[in-house]
């Protein structure tokens, strides 16, 4: 079925083909089901396909809601479950450029149900994409505290750096989510030392002052080693001078 064929017309043509015993392109049926968020069409299509006929990109493109807490989230989840029931090998699908797994995609979409399902199916909570971001990084970037909290219950590593040397707490500070920062600290996130120095030489205090996150800065200062205030970044600035430099701009 061409993409411009309406949902009702697809179902009508399919019913007519079935009634007359005409050959049916079931890959096209499955794809139409995904496009129209029609679980029954998806089930009908994939049930008659060879696993090699299912493009992994379909999962990333069609099986996740368009926004967090969307009312039809469970329908998208059912489509994902249908395809993975058909071919569990697709669970390990990775997007070619970004390196995102289905778990990264679920969190980007803000779907806690998808996240819970994929973890239950065995996807690792610490898998890194091309940028080195783990699912926990993505949850911090998107500021989804409920997903962060769930990942923490699964034992997600709170101290994995991405390619820029930023750990999840560094990202949470940059995004200004104090609740997430507090929960990461409670889960064992390091707040000072070499492990939290980014590739630009910034520690968490640098990140807080440069992003005007002064409530978070106060939280960090209560825990910081005094030596942290003297650490300089690649520009030769310690957190105090970084704050002064920021005030001048």
- Residues of the chain with pLDDT > 90: what percent? 90
In this prediction, residue 53 carries a pLDDT of 85
Tens digit of pLDDT for each residue in 199-219? Answer: 999 999 999 999 999 999 999
In this model, does residue 248 exceed pLDDT 60? no
In this prediction, residue 247 carries a pLDDT of 59
In this model, does residue 1 exceed pLDDT 80? no
In this model, does residue 50 exceed pLDDT 90? no
| CATH number of the domain residue 218 falls in | 1.25.40.20
- For residue 232, being part of any structural domain is answered with yes
Range(s) of the domain holding residue 226: 134-249
> Among residues 123, 150, 175, which one ends one of the domains?
123
**Same domain, residue pair 111 and 143:** no
**Same domain, residue pair 208 and 175:** yes
**Same domain, residue pair 91 and 138:** no
Tens digit of pLDDT for each residue in 128-177? Answer: 999 999 999 999 999 999 999 999 999 999 999 999 999 999 999 999 99
- Say how far apart CA 42 and CA 86 lie, in whole Å: 11
DSSP-derived secondary structure for 159-223: T---TTS--HHHHHHHHT-HHHHHHHHHTT---SSGGG--TTS--HHHHHHHTT-HHHHHHHHTT
CB atoms within 10 A of CB 195: 13
Residue 246 pLDDT class (50, 70, 90 cuts): low
CB atoms within 10 A of CB 116: 15
Tens digit of pLDDT for each residue in 211-245? Answer: 999 999 999 999 989 999 999 999 999 999 998 88
Helices 178-186 and 145-153, axial angle in degrees (round to 10): 10
Q: Using alpha carbons, select from 3, 69, 12, 67 the residue that is nearest to residue 34.
A: 3
Under 8 Å between Cβ of 177 and 149:
no
Count the domains in the chain: 2
């Amino acid at each position: 079925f061409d993409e411009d064929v309406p949902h009702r017309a697809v179902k009508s043509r399919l019913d007519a083909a079935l009634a007359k015993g005409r050959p049916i392109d079931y890959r096209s049926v499955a794809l139409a089901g995904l496009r129209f968020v029609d679980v029954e069409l998806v089930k009908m299509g994939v049930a008659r396909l060879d696993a090699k006929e299912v493009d992994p990109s379909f999962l990333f493109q069609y099986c996740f809601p368009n926004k967090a807490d969307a009312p039809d989230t469970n329908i998208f989840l059912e489509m994902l479950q249908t395809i993975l029931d058909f071919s569990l090998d697709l669970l390990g699908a990775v997007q070619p450029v970004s390196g995102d797994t289905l778990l990264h995609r679920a969190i980007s979409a803000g779907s806690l149900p998808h996240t819970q399902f994929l973890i239950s199916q065995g996807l690792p909570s610490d898998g890194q994409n091309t940028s080195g971001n783990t699912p926990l990084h993505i949850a911090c970037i998107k500021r989804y505290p409920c997903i962060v909290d769930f990942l923490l219950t699964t034992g997600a590593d709170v101290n994995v750096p991405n390619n820029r040397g930023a750990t999840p707490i560094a990202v949470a500070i940059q995004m200004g989510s104090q609740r997430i920062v507090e929960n990461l600290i409670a889960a064992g996130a390091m707040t000072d030392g070499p492990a939290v120095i980014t590739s630009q030489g910034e520690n968490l205090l640098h990140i807080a002052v440069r992003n005007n996150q002064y409530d978070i800065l106060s939280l960090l200062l209560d825990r910081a080693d005094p030596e942290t205030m003297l650490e300089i970044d690649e520009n030769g600035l310690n957190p105090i001078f970084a704050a002064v430099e920021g005030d001048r701009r």
